[in-house]
Amino acid sequence: MSRRARLVFFAVAVAALAVALGVGLAGLPSFGAQLSAYARMLNELAPGQRHVTDVVSAISFDYRGIDTLFEEFILLSAVAGISVLLRPLSDETRRLPQDKAPDRTIPPPSPAVWLLAVFLSSLLLLTGIETVTHGQLTPGGGFQGGVILASVLYVVYLGTNYVTVERFQPDALLEASDGLGASGYVLIGLLGLLAGTSFLSNVVGLGVTGDAVSGGTIQLLNVVVGVEVAGGFAILASEFLDQTSVIRTKRR
Amino acid sequence: MSVLAYGVVAWLFLIGIYGVVTSRNLIHLVVCLSVAQSATDILLLEIGYRAGGHAPVFVNLPAHPGPAVDAVMQALALTDVVVGAAVTALLLALVVQVHKRAGTLDPDQLRATRD
Amino acid sequence: MDHFVSMSAVIPASVVVPLIGAALMAGFSGQLPRWARDLIAIAVAIATCTLTLILMVSSAGRPMIYWFSGWRPAGGMVIGIDYAVGPLGAGMASLAGLLVVAALVYCWRYFDGARGRYHALVLIFLAGSVDFCLTGDLFNLFVAFELVAVTAFGLTGYNAGHPAPLQGAINFAVTNSLGGMTVLMGVGFLYARTGSLNLAQIGQALAGRHPDGLVVVAFALLAGGFLIKAAVVPFHFWLPDAYGSAPIPVCVLFAGVLSELGLFGLIRVWVTVFSGLAGGPGPRMRAVLLGLGIATALVGAVMALAQTQLKRMLAFVTMSHLGIYLIGVGLLTPLGLAGASLLVIGDALAKSALFLGVGVVQHQRRSVSELKLRGRGRGLAITGVTVALGALVLADLPPFVSSDGHALLVSAADQAGLPWLEIVIALTVVLSSGAVLRAAGRIWLGWGTAESPSPDAGTADDSGDEAEDRPDTTDPAASDDGPEGRERSPRPSRAPLTMVLPPLALLAIGLGLGLAPGLEAHSAAAAAAFSDRAAYAAQVLGTRGGPTTASGRVAAAASHAVSAGGLLTDLGQVAVALCVAAIALDRRTVRLRRALATGTEWLRRLHSGLVGDQVTWLVAGLALLAALAGVALR
Amino acid sequence: MSQAVIVVALVWVAAAGTAVVLTRDPLRQAFTAGFFGLALAFFYLSLQAGDVALSQIVVGAIALPLIVLLSLAKVRKDRE
């Protein structure tokens, strides 16, 4: 199709689809008028049954915990897929940028930048841990906290130097945390089977509602998800960073 | 109110697809796809909204807080946000490589799979 | 009951095993030697396949319901997520397991596997397929849809050094992500209407009601998403781009299960959710699905005949067979579903064998172009036999299992009063098998010419020279693989047995299944149980259901379906497919071929490989589907 | 009150989403996309969905724009 023909065809098609969507949306109950019995029941029961204050976390990690298990593996597959796609190919080399001028030493970052990085990274570290571990109490949890934790690494990069950090090769550690977090979710699920009930049953002591340690496996699952997501997002960003900074196409 | 709320869902979904169809740059195309994807999250949360409802977080509530909004739809939207992020990142990795191998980002210049 | 308690751990184990294996593979395989990675991944896949086979056998007669996190329904309301395990779903899952084993064994010597990430992705693909086949929850079905899709996108682009796989992966990812979005919107619509995410409970809430606009559009969005995955016309454009360029072992998984999952999702949701609607929507919906199936079958077959790039040809062959399955599924009768199921199994084995055979040729001769390979098959005799046999099995050569499926499908069409469907199916099968046989004749017998019949031989033909098996990584960590990693780079003079044998093993399994007695009756009983919405809902929700339909009656009808007449039809199909190949190779028919190539030029032009075109067709298809659903359901 | 907030958020989301699609230059689009991510987070907050809003901020307003920018940087570097 020429671009013009495609545009005309698309205009007709999208108009028809808009009508169809409109018909469907018009059948919805009016906005804000209705609450399903399922939702009402869970809102009522979850705090008492699961000793949580954030009902969303009870649904994500307990009532519908298997959804979140597969969600974590979607993330794991995306990270693995990106690592496959962005791996250095046979016509590419990994070269650290300073190779161009081997005798040049990298200037250390100025004290102000360094101080800021230390401050920011510790702040982010605390926020991330707090977000991960309080998932059952307040909005936030393993996923959100995990992304925050992953960002710590990049603040460290900012404060020091990408190349310096790269020398430590944190990749193996990040990969391990990605894989460990994901398998941790499955292993915690197996506790339920070992206790003679179902996979992913919440069989750990639930604690007192509102306490820092409460919610049983809901909290544990938040922690392992935090570990997985932190590793996964850090790998993700580092794969893209590698592409821009150290991976080059060999000259033929 | 309903018309506006649900209309935004259809609008974002369709304009996102419009962006995909007319895009001249694959990075632009991928971001447009994520706009269409956000329409689904909005739909879920709107279905779960209860006028005057409070967040499904049962802490520090007044004596008679009234109903909370639907926590189930929030849990689903949460999953979908993660799925959307995963797909977008994966697509961007593909785009970076295709630019290396085909030398262009214009989707209409990519002819490797033409029949 | 005791039996069920011991069995019940098998149900979660069927996803736990591949997931654990994948997570460890993703996290630690850098520390493992290469042979250990291969061995562990193969063991995990075999274990998963065995677990799902156990489930298939033990759920025959009575489906098994498993509630995750221990939340059983209370007061008629579903709280958690269930797996509703029946023989049909478990069988599909074990097929996925078998093909994953084949794909892993085959790649033992095929490529480095990107430090175990290939293994991790393949195992997650398997776990996602199992989840897709077993789940009884609509949103969980969406999650499985996305899980399978995300792994598949990454696997498609595995050969990231070439433009074609990358472009195929982009087209695949964009269209199928849109499919995921429409599925999720459909989920939202149904939740807003029924307040449930459980298939059985939604179906109960809708049963006996007259569908309004919301239900119609919800169906169109769900069905649209599944049909995109199933690559049904006009949603099919991504399939040849992705399957035609993915690495061979990945093609095996895709051609065998990926798109079939889309059809499985469609029929699962139709039966459990929509089939109880008032107004008897069955017959009109049948017309819609049959129409789509016929179009897909014929377009796929014609396009297959027009290809000379072997992988792309097999991709279109796959598509044409998806059309046939949709015809079987779309009859909306247990017998049709049973026929389609057996065909899915038999064809999956044959198509996988074909892809693996092409992989051997590519590995040894560095090309997948039928024309460039003319006469160069000598020395690859076993593979030649494999490819020819695979093509004949696709034409329903008895006594392979696909001929049983074909017989069931034909008798289902007869029972539905649509005997002419047999002709459509035969035409499709003959053309698509003929295309493969033509290629085999050219490559192994040196028949025909080395030039393309179509006036402007497509650029796609030339992309065959890609070398997938080169060690395409210089990552220092990857070369830690040691001597095994190096050994792979010089080309052995003969194809390794791990490449030559898996396709033959798959064909042998197809033969064994075809000789197994009572397979038709079993599959028909499974399909009858699958198609009974009321019984399904009763079992999931733990209520007393009405009488289950007489699955015995369907089974009896099925065992009569295989007759001498059916055998003759099958042999006739095989003979005509051979004739098609012979005509296509005969030098005297060059004019006929030119005319055909010119006549189908417009169809080839539509397959432009441009993502903008594909999304435009997708939007048009969704709108069309919504209109058709409106006519069919109301 | 909350009604008014929701209306404002809806209009903001629709406008920002449209702007993202119509911004054809990917570099500028990365910034409009971040802005759109914020709009979505604000809207989710107005619908009392704190968990989703937080996810949207970390993903839509930070992580994805960052990856888009990195992809752009790579593409520009290849062109040199």
Instruction: Judge whether residue C472 has pLDDT over 70.
Output: no
According to the model, what pLDDT value does residue A103 have? Answer: 58
Cα A222 versus chain centre, distance: 11
Scanning every residue of chain B, which has its alpha carbon at the shortest distance from the alpha carbon of C173? Answer: B91
* Tokens found for residue A57: 């976390």
Average pLDDT (C145-153) is 97
Q: What is the CATH number of the domain that holds B8?
A: 1.10.287.3510
Does B58 fall in a domain? Answer: no
Scanning every residue of chain B, which has its alpha carbon at the shortest distance from the alpha carbon of C613? Answer: B21
Q: How confident is the model at residue A134 (pLDDT cuts 50, 70, 90)?
A: very high
Instruction: Judge whether residue C483 has pLDDT over 70.
Output: no
Cβ(C270)–Cβ(C333) below 8 Å: no
Does B114 fall in a domain? Answer: no
CA distance linking residue A127 with residue C252, whole number of Å: 46
Give ∠ CA C623-C276-C425 in degrees, rounded to 5.
60
Cβ(C609)–Cβ(C241) below 8 Å: yes
Per DSSP, chain B holds a count of helices (H) and strands (E) of 3, 0
Instruction: Judge whether residue C481 has pLDDT over 60.
Output: no
Q: What is the pLDDT of residues C341-369, one digit of tens each?
A: 999 999 999 999 999 999 999 888 988 99
Average pLDDT (C151-160) is 95
Angle between helices A217-245 and D64-79 (to 10 degrees): 20
Q: What is the pLDDT of residues D37-69, one digit of tens each?
A: 999 999 999 999 999 999 999 998 889 999 999
Q: How confident is the model at residue C144 (pLDDT cuts 50, 70, 90)?
A: very high
Instruction: Judge whether residue D7 has pLDDT over 80.
Output: yes
- Chain C neighbors of A79, CB-CB under 8 A: 26
Give the total residue count for chain C.
Answer: 634
- Residue of B9, B87, B108 lying closest to A3 (CB–CB): B108
According to the model, what pLDDT value does residue C569 have? Answer: 87
- Chain B neighbors of D43, CB-CB under 8 A: 42
Give ∠ CA B6-B9-B12 in degrees, rounded to 5.
145
Identity at C405, one-letter amino acid code: G
Q: What is the pLDDT of residues C522-532, one digit of tens each?
A: 999 999 999 99
What is the number of structural domains in chain C?
1
User: Is there a contact between B49 and A74 if contact means CB atoms under 8 Å apart?
Assistant: no
According to the model, what pLDDT value does residue C634 have? Answer: 81
Cβ(C183)–Cβ(C191) below 8 Å: no
Give ∠ CA A94-A100-A105 in degrees, rounded to 5.
105
Cβ neighbours of residue C201 under 8 Å, at least 6 residues apart?
A: C73, C77, C78, C194, C537, C540, C541
Cβ neighbours of residue B79 under 8 Å, at least 6 residues apart?
A: A60, A67, A68, A71, C139, C143
According to the model, what pLDDT value does residue D1 have? Answer: 56
Q: How confident is the model at residue C545 (pLDDT cuts 50, 70, 90)?
A: low
Among C531, C532, C537, CA closest to C78: C537
Give, for A92, the enclosing helix (H) or strand (E): strand A92-94
Give, for C97, the enclosing helix (H) or strand (E): helix C87-106
Instruction: Judge whether residue C473 has pLDDT over 50.
Output: no
Scanning every residue of chain B, which has its alpha carbon at the shortest distance from the alpha carbon of D59? Answer: B85
Taking CA atoms, C634 is separated from A25, C220, C283, D76, in Å, by 17, 13, 12, 54
Report ipTM for this prediction.
Answer: 0.95
Does C108 fall in a domain? Answer: yes
According to the model, what pLDDT value does residue C114 have? Answer: 74
According to the model, what pLDDT value does residue A104 have? Answer: 55
Q: How confident is the model at residue C110 (pLDDT cuts 50, 70, 90)?
A: low
Q: Which region holds residue C405: left if phi is over 0, alpha if psi is between -120 and 50, else beta?
A: alpha
Among C610, C93, C158, CA closest to B112: C610
| Residue C543 per-residue DSSP state | P
CA distance linking residue C533 with residue C551, whole number of Å: 13
Instruction: Judge whether residue C266 has pLDDT over 60.
Output: yes
Whether chain A has a CB inside 8 Å of the CB on C603: the answer is: no
Domain that residue C70 falls in: 8-135
Does C20 fall in a domain? Answer: yes
According to the model, what pLDDT value does residue C500 have? Answer: 87
Q: What is the pLDDT of residues C451-468, one digit of tens each?
A: 765 544 443 434 444 444
Give ∠ CA A184-A189-A191 in degrees, rounded to 5.
100
Quickly tell me which residue has 């393309």 as its tokens.
C452
Among C187, C83, C79, CA closest to C138: C187
According to the model, what pLDDT value does residue C492 have? Answer: 53
According to the model, what pLDDT value does residue C3 have? Answer: 52
- Residue of D21, D56, D71 lying closest to B35 (CB–CB): D21
Burial class (CB in 10 A: 0-12, 13-18, 19+), C396: buried
Give, for C583, the enclosing helix (H) or strand (E): helix C564-585
What is the number of structural domains in chain D?
1
Domain that residue B38 falls in: 2-51+66-109
Q: What is the pLDDT of residues A145-204, one digit of tens each?
A: 999 999 988 887 777 766 666 666 678 888 899 999 999 999 999 999 999 899 999 998
Interface probe with D: pick from B11, B30, B96, most Cβ of D within 10 Å: B96
User: β-strand C82-85 against A92-94: which pairing, if any?
Assistant: unpaired
Average pLDDT (C161-166) is 93
| DSSP per-residue string spanning C201-214 | HHHHHHTTPPP-HH
User: β-strand A247-249 against C82-85: which pairing, if any?
Assistant: unpaired
Average pLDDT (C142-162) is 95
According to the model, what pLDDT value does residue D41 have? Answer: 97
Give the count of alpha carbons within 13 A of A236, CB side only: 32
Give the total residue count for chain D.
Answer: 80
Domain that residue D13 falls in: 2-79
Q: What is the pLDDT of residues C489-511, one digit of tens each?
A: 445 567 788 888 889 999 999 99
Out of C17-21, C126-130, C416-420, C470-474, least confident range:
C470-474
Q: What is the pLDDT of residues A49-107, one digit of tens each?
A: 999 999 999 999 999 999 999 999 999 999 999 999 999 887 888 776 655 555 556 66
CA distance linking residue C456 with residue C598, whole number of Å: 10
What is the number of structural domains in chain B?
1
Interface probe with D: pick from A147, A151, A154, A247, most Cβ of D within 10 Å: A147
Does B84 fall in a domain? Answer: yes
Does B103 fall in a domain? Answer: yes
Among B67, A63, A47, CA closest to C77: A63
Cβ(C609)–Cβ(B113) below 8 Å: yes
According to the model, what pLDDT value does residue C452 have? Answer: 67
Question: pLDDT averaged over chain C?
Answer: 89
Quickly tell me which residue has 């008798």 as its tokens.
C411
Residues of chain B with pLDDT under 50: none
Q: How confident is the model at residue C5 (pLDDT cuts 50, 70, 90)?
A: low
- Chain C neighbors of B73, CB-CB under 8 A: 188, 191
Interface probe with C: pick from A17, A30, A43, A82, most Cβ of C within 10 Å: A17
Burial class (CB in 10 A: 0-12, 13-18, 19+), C381: exposed
